[in-house]
């Protein structure tokens, strides 16, 4: 069965590009131009992945994400924000609400298809491991939380996967390409600011649990390293 993807976008030209690109890549795609029509369709059939624009005529894409994450039967739907909003704060807000990826307009067709495939591939390969612990820092796989000295912070799936990869490669210098390939599964490297935004958000989450030092070190021009 083909993966089912819903796209909510009020720009008809962009919708047409999304439809052609994903249908040619053997995905089933349904298009919506408003939040109301989207939720009506979701009640009838739940998609595997949702592509959502932020600026919509009736409800913002961010409000759509908020609503989805409050409904138990929809919480596991993968979400990719596709937006012309390029500021870091917009990306952070989207990710913090639970978006799994953020693609900036204008985008290339190859990058769109690659990211969609990567998200679906990661979901299919998900395995519930036992809790991972390193020097007092624990990842709770059942609740998607990071815990340190009895303080906890909830991570979305992408932040959780990123933290997991850092822990499994603790004290190892990880290039940007390695992180994108192994956490996002990208086979196309275009706009990679999404990694920087996720790193910043992950650092904020670690700060919430009491890790005030920069445990995720930036190695300029190379990548990142977890030192804990």
Omega of the bond leading into 106 within 30 degrees of 0 (cis) = yes
175 in helix, strand or coil? strand
Residues 127-159 pLDDT 10s:
555 667 888 888 988 888 999 988 999 998 889
At 221 the pLDDT is 85
Enumerate the β-bridge partners of residue 49: 5, 78
> Please, where in the chain does CATH 3.40.50.2300 lie?
4-124
What is the pLDDT, as a whole number, of residue 199? 92
Topology adopted by domain 132-226: Arc Repressor Mutant, subunit A (1.10.10)
Q: Where are the CATH 1.10.10.10 domain residues in the chain?
A: 132-226
The C-alpha atoms of residue 215 and residue 78 are separated, in whole angstroms, by 28
Q: Mention the CATH class of domain 4-124.
A: alpha beta
pLDDT 10s digits, 55-92: 888 889 999 999 998 888 898 899 999 988 777 777 77
Residue 96 CA to residue 203 CA, distance in Å, equals 12
In this predicted model, what pLDDT tens digit does every residue of 102-115 receive, in sequence order?
A: 888 888 999 999 98
Contact in structure between 179 and 159 (CB atoms under 8 Å) = no
pLDDT at site 190: 54
Q: What is the pLDDT of residues 202-226, one digit of tens each?
A: 999 999 999 876 899 999 888 999 9
Buried b (16+ CB within 10 A) or exposed e, 101-138: bbbbeebeeebbbbbbbbbbebbeeeeeeeeeeeeebb
- Whether residue 197 has pLDDT greater than 70: yes
Do residues 27 and 116 make contact, with C-beta atoms less than 8 angstroms apart?
A: yes
**Polymer length of the chain:** 228
Report the share of the chain in percent with pLDDT over 70. Answer: 93
Q: Going by C-beta distance under 8 Å and a sequence separation of 6 or more, which residues neighbour residue 102?
A: 80, 81, 83, 91, 94, 95, 194, 197
SS3 label, residue 61: helix
What whole-number distance in Å separates Cα of residue 184 and Cα of residue 80?
Answer: 12
């Amino acid at each position: 069965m083909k993966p089912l993807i819903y796209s909510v976008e009020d720009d008809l030209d962009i919708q047409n590009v999304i439809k052609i690109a994903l249908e040619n890549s053997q995905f089933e795609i349904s298009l919506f131009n408003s939040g109301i029509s989207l939720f009506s369709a979701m009640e009838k059939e739940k998609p595997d992945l949702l592509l959502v624009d932020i600026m919509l005529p009736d409800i913002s894409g961010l409000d759509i994400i908020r609503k989805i994450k409050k409904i138990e039967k929809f919480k596991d739907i993968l979400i990719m924000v596709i937006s012309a909003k390029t500021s870091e704060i917009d990306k952070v807000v989207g990710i913090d609400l639970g978006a799994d990826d953020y693609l900036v307009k204008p985008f290339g067709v190859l990058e769109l298809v690659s990211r969609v495939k990567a998200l679906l591939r990661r979901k299919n390969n998900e395995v519930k491991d036992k809790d991972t612990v390193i020097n007092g820092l624990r990842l709770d796989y059942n609740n998607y939380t990071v815990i340190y000295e009895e303080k906890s912070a909830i991570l979305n799936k992408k932040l959780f996967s990123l933290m997991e990869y850092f822990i499994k490669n603790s004290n190892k210098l990880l290039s940007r390409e390695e992180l994108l390939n192994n956490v996002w599964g990208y086979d196309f490297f275009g706009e990679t600011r999404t990694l920087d935004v996720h790193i910043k958000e992950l650092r904020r989450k670690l700060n919430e649990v009491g890790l005030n030092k920069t445990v995720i070190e930036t190695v300029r021009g190379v990548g990142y390293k977890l030192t804990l």
